[in-house]
Chain A
């Protein structure tokens, strides 16, 4: 059934949803196998302690318990410690990291023993009965305490708590600061955030002892990388390991990792010869799944008297947590090139020191390094506007990089395509900036107890990770390509096999749109297969807003190869040269003789029967493509937030939120809007609500959703979205990426609005999150103690 309909850019509904919203998805929790055993972890309640005797007798005798194993018992099972794939410097300190701790625990949640039982409840009951003698040690939970003289050491194997220092310098930074008329010096903190995917992590392992095979279902973003690393960590030949990411309910980077529980379940299945399962509880996830952010940033901008920026200095301290997970050290460096944002300048210095603490390890969390960088530059450019005495809009326009292609940025990267000012103008027009300013003045003049403020964030981010060579130069342990196979079936449908691994992003829909257009077949005639290492080609999975601009391009290009081959076969069938054919809407027709046609479905059938193919042509119509992009993509946009602050209580309400994003060409507008909605919500959460806090002894105080304040729809405004379209030149579809942009952009937009509202009190700084008490206290103090 040929069709001329174009799906890319159109508003097709997500194919995934009917299944998911009717409860027909298959998540790890849904998987039950005959004879399956359940695993529960005994976890440290201490931030730092030496492990003494572990009494497992009562647990072993508990009903249904099959095995109770300590770190010592399991020590012989590991071929290697938990993997860390990004040794950012040659002298980075990489601590031993065993899936189950042996001698000491280093954060609350560190596993010390496992209980295996017939049911999940019996495993939990057994874990309750394991008694561990801990000798508590002094803990250190925050970056500055960890770097103080005489601080307790997280790892005795190192002489202090520093993990690495990585630096980057472009141009003559000292000269830029020396000749500057204005130097803005700011200090910001990035609170630690807890990722909250709706589906907790979980894993099921099915061993086939007679064959030495293992099938691992994991709620992961990275089945392909996991296959390699599971094999290396457990000491199993890679070819014997099959990893399946079934339906996965979100990740936000937190499932872009290799976790102790996955490896433990794998070795337990090997040891016990039975299928095993573990699914995290929400509270368990809060301590045992990586956290995000947690930085102290010193940010300096040097500018001339008009506020034209000459140079940047960013010095970052980043909390690694107790151990290095898969990309813990590299995560802050994903922002290393972006502390200059969308602005120009001649010199740039960035420096990051990673610091160990007795806390849950940090790692990628939506935006990963880029929200932190964007927050710093977008706050600092407002500080520069204040120093110069111009409006935040004006300071941005004075400093935007020029419009163009491959535009060099002070951070050292060349931005694919830029066009910033028209994007900002669109956002200003939607929000009606002058009217908002007028209302702000009116409210101040009338002494209204509710004041308003407006904040901007004109962000640029880098995604589409990435050229493999560039990743290699940064010491990253894998490539940045992705792969796709497109198979035309004899009955005329297509199977698209992708190396990306969706967990909520809607790849099945977007890939179907791309393939349907490229092959000229119906949207419903495309099936997308993913997430199973035995089915999908090797891939680099889904993270870093890379799926469409790398994996999607692989699909696009593989489809192109299918059409090329189909064209040769069609030409043979129609007895003309391939050059004499046109391909439109799924039909090959002879130029000038439009009624001489062959549909791609007819060609697919002919390729399958292979009764009559061109000389030397192989049967079948299946093609593969691996895309390794020549550059990152650099989406940008302008977010404008209007807040209303109740000066009596300090409550901040977002009354308007305008986001004009430019992610290049758009495949599915609704999916893009959804990504912006979710991303902005997460960035607002960081600005106003979420902050993970530890007590000095290492206890996670925000240990559940009761006191870790994930906002709901009721706390969020209706978003006003628009787009500009500046196609990327990093890939043939001109797409960029949108999965993280909302989170990257929104936190500083909100905080700039809060500070703008409070500016007439002389308040110029406040740490995130801007809680009501913090805002009220700042107003009270500014008024001299009487609010």
Chain B
């Protein structure tokens, strides 16, 4: 757990960070909270030659909203998300998800931008953001662009952020939906074996529309479209469970030492039911 040698630079602006990234080339990496990158470096599984520390770019730490859209700076920590009354009211799914990441130390260091750009399929926030139809603002030397969550995640640890670019903000459309994140793991600080993000619009006690995101059920966060369709009109435990069972329509998840594919699917089904019921309660 001793990293290979690397250079370190601290950026004092987004522009400076992008210039340092350009100079560093393909083996340069941004360092934000460091909770994903540093463990990989200590095991020598990641060997960046240059770390560009953006941890002091305070102007990327914010949560702001105009009533229709919420914008969150990339360096906003999980703790800040979990602790924000504004967020809890406007977008409870995101606050609920952030509150379940890792442990208090991780939540105080880890950032939303780092979590999203790292694109670990076992991460919680990407799933919630996918369920919320978020957009990601990616800045490069030539300006910034917006990428829809559905187009952003390309595979395990692969996303739309290209070499020389950085993720600067996340935009979430506000729908007034109720949202709950449910996570299955063995220990409080563990990654999700399965996670479910449920965002539900309820009218007259029935589901009017639902978004269901799944964590660690594939190489990227997934949407369970068949479940979402089946949930419309659901009112009670039985009808919700029937809709949740459509999770079996998804591509078969992977087996690993933590869980077999069958068990993952079963847990996803159970968690969808629990999350939707909790969101409707």
Give the chain A neighbours of B258 by CB distance below 8 A. Answer: 707
Complex Cα distance, B263 from A711, in Å, reads 22
> By DSSP majority rule, is chain B's interface helix, strand, loop, or mixed?
loop
Chain A residues touching B, range: 20 to 34
Complex Cα distance, B263 from A776, in Å, reads 9
Give the chain B neighbours of A776 by CB distance below 8 A. Answer: 263, 266
Say which one of A120-128, A143-151, A366-374, A415-423 lies at the interface with B. Answer: A120-128
Is B5 a contact partner of A712 (Cβ separation < 8 A)?
A: no
Is A282 a contact partner of B1 (Cβ separation < 8 A)?
A: yes
Interface residues as binary, B173-192 with A (CB distance below 8 Å gives 1, 0 otherwise): 00000000000101111100
A-B contact count (CB 8 A): 47
Complex Cα distance, B263 from A714, in Å, reads 24
Complex Cα distance, B39 from A282, in Å, reads 12
Is A121 a contact partner of B2 (Cβ separation < 8 A)?
A: yes
Is A283 a contact partner of B1 (Cβ separation < 8 A)?
A: yes
Complex Cα distance, B259 from A777, in Å, reads 11
Complex Cα distance, B263 from A712, in Å, reads 24
Is A701 a contact partner of B257 (Cβ separation < 8 A)?
A: yes
**Interface of chain B residues 166 through 216 with chain A (CB within 8 A):** 184, 186-190
Is A649 a contact partner of B267 (Cβ separation < 8 A)?
A: yes
Complex Cα distance, B267 from A715, in Å, reads 19
Give the chain A neighbours of B184 by CB distance below 8 A. Answer: 649
Q: Which of A282, A649, A707, A712 contacts B270, CB < 8 Å?
A: A649
Complex Cα distance, B184 from A309, in Å, reads 44
Is B252's CB within 8 Å of the partner chain A? no
Is A281's CB within 8 Å of the partner chain B? yes
CB of B197, distance to nearest CB on chain A (Å): 18
Is B4's CB within 8 Å of the partner chain A? yes
Interface residues as binary, B252-268 with A (CB distance below 8 Å gives 1, 0 otherwise): 00000111100100110
Most buried by A among B2, B43, B189: B2
CB of A202, distance to nearest CB on chain B (Å): 13
Knowing A649-B270, A776-B263, say if A711 contacts B43 (CB, 8 Å).
no
Is B5 a contact partner of A121 (Cβ separation < 8 A)?
A: yes
Give the chain B neighbours of A707 by CB distance below 8 A. Answer: 257-258
Complex Cα distance, B43 from A283, in Å, reads 8
Is B44's CB within 8 Å of the partner chain A? yes
Is B266 a contact partner of A787 (Cβ separation < 8 A)?
A: yes
Complex Cα distance, B187 from A709, in Å, reads 8
Q: Which of A649, A702, A712 contacts B188, CB < 8 Å?
A: A712
Give the chain B neighbours of A283 by CB distance below 8 A. Answer: 1, 43
Give the chain A neighbours of B267 by CB distance below 8 A. Answer: 649
Complex Cα distance, B264 from A649, in Å, reads 10
Give the chain A neighbours of B5 by CB distance below 8 A. Answer: 121, 125
Is A689's CB within 8 Å of the partner chain B? yes
Complex Cα distance, B2 from A704, in Å, reads 15
Give the chain B neighbours of A777 by CB distance below 8 A. Answer: 263
Give the chain B neighbours of A135 by CB distance below 8 A. Answer: none
Complex Cα distance, B184 from A282, in Å, reads 26
CB of A713, distance to nearest CB on chain B (Å): 9
Interface residues as binary, A422-449 with B (CB distance below 8 Å gives 1, 0 otherwise): 0000000000000000000000000000
Q: Which of B2, B187, B259 contacts A714, CB < 8 Å?
A: B187
Measured CB to CB, the nearest residue on chain A to B44 is A128
Is B2 a contact partner of A712 (Cβ separation < 8 A)?
A: no
Is A281 a contact partner of B1 (Cβ separation < 8 A)?
A: yes
Is A55's CB within 8 Å of the partner chain B? no
Give the chain B neighbours of A405 by CB distance below 8 A. Answer: none
Is B2 a contact partner of A709 (Cβ separation < 8 A)?
A: no
Most buried by A among B4, B184, B186: B186
Is A648's CB within 8 Å of the partner chain B? yes
Measured CB to CB, the nearest residue on chain A to B1 is A281
Measured CB to CB, the nearest residue on chain A to B186 is A709
Is A281 a contact partner of B187 (Cβ separation < 8 A)?
A: no
13 contacts between A and B (CB under 8 A): A120-B2, A281-B1, A282-B1, A283-B1, A283-B43, A702-B257, A707-B258, A714-B187, A714-B188, A773-B259, A773-B263, A777-B263, A787-B266
User: Which residues of A pack against B, CB within 8 Å?
Assistant: 120-121, 124-125, 128, 281-283, 648-649, 689, 693, 701-702, 704, 707, 709, 711-712, 714-715, 771-773, 776-777, 787
Given contacts A648-B270, A709-B187, 20 further A-B contacts (CB under 8 A): A120-B2, A125-B4, A125-B5, A128-B4, A281-B1, A281-B2, A282-B1, A649-B184, A649-B267, A689-B186, A701-B257, A709-B190, A711-B187, A712-B187, A714-B189, A715-B186, A715-B187, A772-B186, A773-B260, A773-B263
Top 5 nearest A-B pairs by Cβ distance?
A: A714-B188, A281-B1, A124-B2, A773-B263, A648-B270
